[in-house]
Chain A
Amino acid sequence: DAMVIQNPRYQVTQFGKPVTLSCSQTLNHNVMYWYQQKSSQAPKLLFHYYDKDFNNEADTPDNFQSRRPNTSFCFLDIRSPGLGDAAMYLCATSPERGAGHEQFFGPGTRLTVL
């Protein structure tokens, strides 16, 4: 089945130790998104790729970076995780940007920072 896959599902890292989260999709969608969802809060968009074009949200900390080496894969890099970065990280894809295009979400990676 076509889907959005996130690995790992659970990630534990140490304070300040770089960590990379992975997202892959078999949908061949142009757009890939990364959201951060803290406990009992709304998912918050960090950035998105439209094809190879990276679009950062204005309030996304510099500590968060992303790479999209090809259509299928997108990575979220946290350069120096702090305790406040513990959250669920959700990857989503959509065929195109625009209100009529559904975003398909992966199951998320829960990040714990010790």
Chain B
Amino acid sequence: GEDVEQSLFLSVREGDSSVINCTYTDSSSTYLYWYKQEPGAGLQLLTYIFSNMDMKQDQRLTVLLNKKDKHLSLRIADTQTGDSAIYFCADRSNDYKLSFGAGTTVTVRA
């Protein structure tokens, strides 16, 4: 299967920017996704980027895609306590299957 890797933990001070990084191996990925999972809840789609784009901005979220290096990042501006969660990077490896990374646990400290 396709591999998606991301760092496991990130601690950030409230008000600072968070940057979560992800690498993937499937060069044929058409869409790449960021999901958020709060404690006890399911996965919520935060944003996605199409593979022919370099950047996508959506309010406090900025997604950067380096297709050459197969590197994806999610930047959260002005991180708030409500942003504490697990963030999953995923790519679409075929017409139905999402391949997820193991998730990055983001802890926002006061």
Chains A and B bind each other: yes
Q: Tally chain B residues at the interface, Cβ within 8 Å.
A: 23
A-B interface contact total, Cβ < 8 Å? 56
- Closest CB in chain B relative to A37 CB, distance in Å: 9
Q: Check if B96 sits within 8 Å of A98, measured CB to CB.
A: yes
What's the least CB distance linking B25 to chain A, in Å? Answer: 14
Least distance between B15 CB and chain A CB atoms (Å): 28
Interface stretch of the complex, out of B36-44, B56-64, B65-73? B36-44
The one of A99, A105, A107, A108 that contacts B95, using a Cβ cutoff of 8 Å = A99
A61 in contact (CB, < 8 A): no
Q: Kindly state whether residue B98 has any CB partner on chain A within 8 Å.
A: yes
A100 CA to B31 CA, complexed, in Å: 8
Bound CA span A45–B45, Å: 17
Check B102 for interface membership: any CB of A closer than 8 A.
yes
Q: Flag if A97 contacts B43 (CB, 8 Å).
A: no
In whole Å, how far is A57's beta carbon from the nearest beta carbon of chain B? 8
Residue A103 lies at the interface, judged by CB distance under 8 Å to chain B: yes
Is B106 in contact with chain A by the CB < 8 A criterion? no
The number of chain A residues with a CB under 8 A from chain B is: 29
Is B100 an interface position by the 8 A CB rule? yes
Interchain CA distance A21-B64 in the complex, whole Å: 38
- Cβ B96 vs Cβ A48 within 8 A: yes
Question: Would you call B43 and A43 a contact (CB within 8 A)?
Answer: yes
Q: Which of A31-85 contact B (CB under 8 A)?
A: 31, 33, 40-45, 48, 50, 55, 57
Which residues from chain B sit less than 8 Å from chain A, CB to CB?
Answer: 4, 8, 30-31, 35, 40-45, 48, 88, 92, 95-103
Given contacts A43-B88, A43-B100, 7 further A-B contacts (CB under 8 A): A33-B96, A40-B103, A42-B99, A42-B101, A48-B96, A57-B97, A105-B42
